[in-house]
């Protein structure tokens, strides 16, 4: 049944590398922090370092470990250091690969950039993707760029399907300036919506701005308040 009031948008700040940034995320009221386990990334940290930073988290703030085509051995070893972490898969992992980890996970979907991609027949079937990865806790939407990760790029939110039977996490080029519009456009299309930001709150790769983090969280809350005053029509979706 469609809720009579809008749901609170959950917030994840990703690519954390420093104690002061973790503390800023917690103080701002975000729900999750992301640690990048992918070595080629400029935001990469070791599992040991992630565990050290995660010890600063209070209850109910979730650590998330981001993997890209990692071996099962590495995933198991890293998870042993952060047993409460949610997993996030950003590579070419199959549904079976994700399930093999034996942990709750999110799966990133790489959304083509611009209308030209759809016109050229390279559109992405998000409805099918969500069904293929129905065991995922959520599908994270990121821009399809060279390499892995969204590269701080924003895809065209209006091209997303009108109804996706999944919990979605909007990512890819979000900033304090555009996240309200993203929430208003995408929330009606799914079960629930969360947002995930990295470069949009940075002063350098892996170095966050406390002011930008607070501004981002405030913008998300402003979107929630806007929806509470004038609720949008949510599509009716299966509860499972």
Query: What's the rounded mean pLDDT across residues 140-161?
Result: 76
Distance CA 111, CA 123 (A): 8
Distance of CA 110 to the CA centre of its chain: 12
Distance CA 58, CA 238 (A): 33
State residue 81's pLDDT score.
96
Alpha-carbon distance values, 171 to 82, 112, 218 (Å):
24, 13, 17
Among the listed residues 14, 79, 98, 190, the single catalytic one is 14
52-83 pLDDT, tens digit per residue, is 999 999 999 999 999 999 999 999 999 999 99
Residue 188: CA count within 13 A, CB half-sphere: 12
Query: What's the rounded mean pLDDT across residues 13-26?
Result: 98
Residue 78's nearest CA partner among 94, 66, 61 is 66
State residue 186's pLDDT score.
95
Query: What's the rounded mean pLDDT across residues 93-107?
Result: 95
Q: Does 14 qualify as catalytic in the annotation?
A: yes
Among the listed residues 21, 97, 142, 196, the single catalytic one is 142
Query: What's the rounded mean pLDDT across residues 138-155?
Result: 73
- Percentage of residues in the chain with pLDDT exceeding 90? 77
Where would I find the beta strands (DSSP E) of 24-177? 32-36, 62-67, 86-89, 105-111, 138-143, 168-170
Backbone CA torsion sign across 60, 49, 214, 149 = negative
**pLDDT grade, residue 103 (50/70/90)?**
very high
Distance CA 91, CA 212 (A): 28
**pLDDT grade, residue 37 (50/70/90)?**
very high
Q: Does 79 qualify as catalytic in the annotation?
A: no
For the chain, the straight-line distance linking the first and the last C-alpha, in angstroms and rounded, comes to: 12
184-227 pLDDT, tens digit per residue, is 999 999 999 999 999 999 999 999 999 999 999 999 999 999 98
Q: What is the mean pLDDT of the chain?
A: 89
User: What residues contact residue 62 under an 8 Å CB cut-off, 6+ apart?
Assistant: 31, 32, 33, 84, 85, 86
């Amino acid at each position: 049944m469609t809720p009579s009031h809008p749901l609170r948008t959950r917030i994840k700040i990703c690519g954390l590398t420093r104690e002061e940034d973790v503390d800023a995320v917690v103080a701002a009221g975000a729900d999750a922090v992301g640690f990048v386990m992918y070595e080629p990334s400029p935001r990469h940290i070791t599992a040991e370092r992630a565990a050290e930073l995660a010890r600063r988290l209070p209850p109910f703030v979730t650590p998330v470990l981001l993997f890209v085509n990692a071996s099962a051995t590495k995933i198991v070893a890293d998870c042993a250091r952060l047993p409460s972490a949610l997993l996030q898969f950003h590579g070419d992992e199959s549904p079976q690969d994700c399930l093999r980890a034996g942990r709750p996970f999110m799966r990133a979907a790489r959304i083509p950039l611009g209308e030209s991609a759809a016109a050229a027949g390279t559109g992405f079937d998000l409805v099918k993707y969500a069904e293929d990865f129905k065991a995922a806790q959520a599908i994270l939407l990121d821009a399809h760029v060279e390499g892995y990760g969204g590269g701080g790029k924003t895809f065209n939110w209006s091209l997303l399907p009108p109804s996706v039977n999944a919990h979605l996490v909007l990512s890819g080029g979000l900033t304090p300036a555009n996240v309200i519009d993203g929430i208003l456009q995408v929330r009606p299309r799914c079960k629930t919506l969360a947002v995930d930001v990295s470069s949009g709150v940075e002063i350098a790769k892996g170095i966050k701005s406390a002011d930008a983090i607070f501004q981002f969280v405030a913008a998300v809350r402003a979107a929630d308040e806007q929806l509470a005053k004038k609720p949008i029509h949510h599509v009716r979706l299966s509860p499972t």
